[in-house]
Structure 1
Amino acid sequence: MEYLTLNNGMKMPMDGIGTFLLSPDEAEASVSAALQCGYRLIDTANAYVNEKAVGRAVNKSGVSREDIFLETKLWPSFYEQRDAVDKTLQRLGTDYIDLLLIHQPAGNYLAGYKLMEKAYKAGKVKAIGLSNFNTRQIQEILSQCEVKPAVLQTEVHPYSQERELKKFLAEEGMVIQAWYPLGHGDKALQQEPVFTELAAKYGKSNVQIILRWHIQSGNIVIPGSKNPEHIKANLNLFDFTLTDEEMERIAAMDQQKRYYHSTREMLKKYAEIVPDVDGQK
Structure 2
Amino acid sequence: MKTNTFFKNLSVFAIAGLFALTSCEKQTEVPENNEAEENNAIMVAEATASSDAVFIVNAVPAGAEKDSVATSDLHTNINTYLNANYSGFTHFKAFKIKKNSSLEGYIVVIKYNEKPVGLLFDEDGNFIRIFEQRERGQFSGKGWKHGGRFDGRDGKHRDTIALSSLSAAVKTYFLISYPQDTLLAAHAGKNGDIVVISANNGLYATLFNSSSIFVKRAQLILKAGRKAAITQAQLSANIANYLLSTYPGYVFHRAYEVKVNSTTQAYVVFIDSNDTKYALHFDASGNLVKTVVIR
Q: Is TM-score (shorter-chain normalized) higher than 0.5?
A: no
Q: Which has the higher strand share?
A: 2
If asked which structure has higher relative contact order (CA below 8 Å, sep 6+), I would say 1
Larger radius of gyration: 2
Q: Which has the higher helix share?
A: 1
Q: TM-score, normalised by structure 1?
A: 0.24
Q: TM-score, normalised by structure 2?
A: 0.23
